[in-house]
Structure 1
Amino acid sequence: MNARKAFIRRRPFGSLALLVLLIIAGLMWNWRVQLQVFPSIISAYTAKEYCSCRFVMNNPAHYCQSYVKQWLPSTINEDALNKRITARGWGRESAAQWEGPRQGCRLSPPVP
């Protein structure tokens, strides 16, 4: 018991850093499902919002690219003929398809 107290007294910042790391590890374990899904959210958001900007609101491409720009990089491919947007970010790919003037855009599985 005295050895533990002596360690904390000798290294207070190291003990605090170890405690913070343990708390962060516990939070990451608790939120592991949400953290695994996060990369998919980036590409899905980009595809859906860009599709809505282009085909529902009829804005020009350069405006929509700046509208959906994020701090995290993503690539956008536009198929204007079929009104389909494919976005790739953080290794995940999502697609959005224009359904019609009343339905707007909808996320759909990417075409291989």
Structure 2
Amino acid sequence: MIRRRPLRTLLILIMLLLAAWAWLNRAHLQAFPGIIGAYSAKEYCSCRYVSQQPADYCLGYVEQYVPLSDLFDDVEHKRVTARGLGSSQTAQWLGARQGCQLLPLAAPLP
């Protein structure tokens, strides 16, 4: 069978290796969607409220290869919510000495 269809056999072997790799790294792959939103919310909050940069600059600063579905900047409460890959994370500015901090997942969204 290998001699008749070497391309198909190679493709099946690659698929099996990818499935094994995904199984071994399943915890990391499950955490990935949350990391995108958390990174974007925290970095945007720090850029905007700690470094006091303009909003357009900070949007470009947190731009990534994995697109965000939404980035909400609550200027009144100095809170940033980023949504990407089905996960939503919020960071809030605590003060000049503390900077920005990610809020727990159970926190109410704006």
Q: TM-score, normalised by structure 1?
A: 0.89
1:104 to 92, 99, 104: 99
> Aligned pair 1:55/2:49, yes or no?
yes
Residue in 2 aligned with 1:42? 36
2:5 to 3, 6, 11: 11
In the TM superposition, structure 1's runs of 4+ consecutive aligned residues that sit over 2 Å from their partners are none
CA distance, structure 2, for counterparts of residue 81 and residue 87 of structure 1:
17
CA distance, structure 1, for counterparts of residue 2 and residue 40 of structure 2:
48
Q: Percent identity?
A: 51
CA distance, structure 2, for counterparts of residue 61 and residue 111 of structure 1:
23
CA distance, structure 1, for counterparts of residue 61 and residue 94 of structure 2:
21
Q: Structure 1, unaligned stretches of length 5 or more? A: 1-6
Q: TM-score, normalised by structure 2?
A: 0.91
**Counterpart of 2:97 in 1: which secondary structure?**
coil
Shift of 1:99: 1.4
CA RMSD after TM alignment = 1.1
Q: Structure 2, unaligned stretches of length 5 or more? A: none
- Rg bigger for which structure? 1
CA distance, structure 2, for counterparts of residue 77 and residue 16 of structure 1:
46
**Counterpart of 1:82 in 2: which secondary structure?**
coil
CA distance, structure 2, for counterparts of residue 16 and residue 73 of structure 1:
33
Could you give the per-residue CA deviations for residues 41-76 of structure 1, whole angstroms, max 9, x where no partner exists? 111111000000000000000100011011222111
1:69 to 57, 63, 70: 63
Q: What count of residue pairs does the alignment treat as equivalent?
A: 106
Residue in 2 aligned with 1:21? 15
**Counterpart of 1:73 in 2: which secondary structure?**
coil
